[in-house]
Amino acid sequence: MGLRARRGGAAYRALPELTAETSSLASTDPGASGDLIGTLRSLASPVGLGRKTVRFPLVSAPDLGELKIARYRLYFAEPPSIVNLVLGLSLAQKRPHGDPGINTAQDADIAVGAGRYTRWQAAGRVPPAPWP
């Protein structure tokens, strides 16, 4: 587990909440939006993302991983029951280093992704529609 985003050839799907977050990013930060789209397209490439931008599993949420893209973190899961799926859960803006509340804020961001994953699992694990 945790290798799909690194190795490539994965199918990427996003929960509707994440789709809304990434849509608003296109208007507020077009450069980061372009970086995000390019990174997500790399998931399906034979090369994948390697270890550079992927952290999986997260210590505080072992079912989740993190993609670092520009000034953002995209939280994802790789459901063990669905072959090759990388499921996008949530997008959060990185905090500046030295911010005294950085750990608390990042833990809250991870909790959002974890909560969405839990709800998705409880709803029957239906993969969302393909991402463009």
Q: pLDDT by residue (tens digit) across 10-42?
A: 888 888 898 889 888 888 999 888 888 888 877
Q: Is residue 128 part of a domain?
A: no
CATH classification at residue 52: 3.30.2310.20
Mean of the per-residue pLDDT values of the chain: 84
Q: Is residue 46 part of a domain?
A: yes
> Residue 114: which domain range?
4-122
- How many Cα atoms sit within 13 Å of 66 on the Cβ side? 22
- Res 1: pLDDT: 46
Q: Is residue 131 part of a domain?
A: no
Q: Is residue 94 part of a domain?
A: yes
Name the strands in the sheet holding 85-93, side by side, starting at the edge strand that comes first in the sequence: 11-14, 85-93, 72-77, 64-69, 54-55
Q: Is residue 132 part of a domain?
A: no
Q: Is residue 50 part of a domain?
A: yes
Q: Is residue 117 part of a domain?
A: yes
- Res 111: pLDDT: 95
> Are 3 and 42 a contacting pair, CB within 8 Å?
no
- Count of domains in the chain? 1
**Amino acid symbol at 34:** G
What are the pLDDT tens digits along the chain (132 aa)?
Answer: 457 888 888 888 888 898 889 888 888 999 888 888 888 877 777 777 766 678 888 888 888 999 888 889 999 999 888 888 889 999 999 888 888 888 889 999 999 999 999 999 888 877 666 655
Q: Is residue 129 part of a domain?
A: no
